[in-house]
Amino acid sequence: MAILPRFSMLGHGHTVIMLHDADGGHLTFSPSVEALASQGYRAVAVDLPGYGYTPPSEPYSIKSLAQSCLALIDALQVNKVTLVGHGLGAMVALETAMRDPSHVKRLVLCAGGPPLDDVSRKVWVDTRLTALDEGLSMEQIADRIVPMQTGGKAIPEGVRLIRHAMTEVHPLIYRHALQALPGFQRDVAALSQVSAPTLLIGGAQDVCTPPDALEALAQVLPDASTITLPGIGHWPPLESPDDFDGLVMDFLNHQRNVH
């Protein structure tokens, strides 16, 4: 049975569900919730299983996280939603769209989505697992990882919130989430069946999901476009929230006018 995730919600209108990365819970999308609600959307920022007050799932995998997302869609009693995923959450969003395309109207994939290659696995997963294996606290891991993987143009307030969100993660759940990342192995044939209009947003300085990885994914998805933010690293929603939220709302408003 799928775990029903806890969430923060604001606003009325078309439902936009935001799925966070392994590095932090719903706080990752704090600016986006207010921005989307102010523009006539119902913004739902999720705590995936094991994060916040949501019970963990077993086994912990992209598949089980996608099942939790589908359980939330059912609980919200909506027909079609937009999924916004960051990092791990981008993989969960894609998996959700592949498992039940009837419920997914649009996708926004940020700093994640493509299956990990060896380089991405090393800089994204291995650096964090190594820190856990060294016995570092989540505060110490944040002190190590955040300066390495934020961009030169990241706003200080955003960097502080990235660090705070990371320190809120339980180390055991962090390990499970990191180990789940390489488990996303959807091939070109499966990804090419994702028909939902998709926007891919990345940071030019993101070493975890570099711009060329998002471009390659955009070539596989039937209806996708890519935008790269200069001077931004792995956390665009917090490093550059005004730019990120503006891109998301432009995409949603354009699609709303088209359809």
To 5 degrees, how large is the angle CA 112–CA 56–CA 123? 30
Apex 61 CA angle, 193 and 217, nearest 5 = 35
Query: CA 207 from chain center: how many Å?
Result: 16
Could you read off the pLDDT of 203-258 as tens digits, one per residue?
999 999 999 999 999 999 999 999 999 999 999 999 999 999 999 999 998 866 55
Amino acid residing at 62: I
Percent of the chain with pLDDT strictly greater than 90: 95
Strands 6-10 and 41-47: antiparallel
Please list the alpha-helical segments (H only) found in 77-225.
Answer: 88-99, 118-120, 127-133, 138-149, 156-167, 171-180, 188-191, 211-220
Domains in the chain, please, with CATH? 6-258 (3.40.50.1820)
| Assessment of whether the complete model's pTM goes beyond 0.85 | yes
Say whether 193 sits in a helix, a strand or coil. coil
Residue 172: CB atoms within 10 A of its CB come to: 12
